[in-house]
Amino acid sequence: RRGCGEAAALRAMGFSEEQARRLLGLQPRLGPQRREAAAAQLLLLGLSAEAALGLLERSPGLLRMPTERLQDRAGELRRLGLDGGRAARRRGRGRGG
């Protein structure tokens, strides 16, 4: 079965079996590379597997986004200080800084 290899790849990224199954159910006509690439970019941002899955469930359009564009956007979020899914506080900025 084609989905078995994709599920194994998602589990290797840190998704549980149940999470991988949920992720495989999103946009089923898309190729496995799209789902894996989107999940990988979200994990690289520091999101947990559950948070990444939740975001993809709420915004499945992210799965249709070209991988290069998704990488660019993720890179921009990292440059802006997104750390672990939250904006990192910058010292010396803001009030009194």
Per-residue confidence (pLDDT) for residue 32, from 0 to 100: 81
Query: Whole-model pTM?
Result: 0.74
The pair of three-digit structure tokens given for residue 17, joined into one six-digit string: 């079996």
How far is the C-alpha of 39 from the C-alpha of 66, rounded, in Å? 13
The C-alpha atoms of residue 64 and residue 35 are separated, in whole angstroms, by 9
- Tens of pLDDT, residue by residue, the chain (97 residues): 456 888 899 999 999 999 999 999 998 888 888 889 899 989 988 889 999 999 999 998 889 888 889 888 888 888 887 665 555 544 444 444 4
The CA distance from 80 to 45, in Å, is 11
